[in-house]
Amino acid sequence: MVEWTDKERSIISDIFSHMDYDDIGPKALSRCLVVYPWTQRYFSGFGNLYNAEGIMSNANVAAHGIKVLHGLDRGMKNMDNIADAYTDLSTLHSEKLHVDPDNFKLLSDCITIVLAAKMGHAFTAETQGAFQKFLAAVVSALGKQYH
């Protein structure tokens, strides 16, 4: 089980109370699809991911980015049992979606980068430490049902 200091808890709850899901979700998922192009294979049903200028821009990706970012809410609400909070989502990604679990870490890094760009100076080393620790717990939980 992951242990959290009061400081880490307050950083995490602060981040989520100010989270701009509609901005960060689409940006983080789009970034993941650009930086790690092999992750595009899971979204073949989303249509053309790039616009006429060759920029990643797709309404389905944007909507899905928001949904995925909201997927972190259950971790935030279950800080003391993140491992079990993702059982059903882990099974879905493993058995139905067949998403390679290595990709969870890649997306989580993109979420960190987009959040850092948005928060600017407020994204201190302590904030990064707590947030990455939180994401690592989620990533590990999402990988739990892979056999």
Using CB under 6 A, which of 26, 30, 104, 114 touches ligand ZNH?
104
Q: Taking contact as CB under 6 A, which single stretch among the options 12-20, 76-84, 91-99, 118-126 is the one that binds ligand ZNH?
A: 91-99
- Sketch the per residue contact string, 1 through 40, with ligand ZNH: x for CB under 6 A, - otherwise: --------------------------------------x-
Residue 23 falls in which region: left (phi positive, over 0), alpha (psi -120 to 50) or beta: alpha
Strand (E) or helix (H) holding 93: none
Distances (CA, A) of 129 to 30, 75, 112: 24, 16, 10
Closest CA to 76 of 144, 11, 5: 11
Interaction between residue 67 and ligand ZNH (CB under 6 A): yes
Residues in contact with ligand ZNH by CB under 6 A are 39, 42, 45, 64, 67-68, 71-72, 89, 92-93, 97, 99, 103-104, 107-108, 138, 142
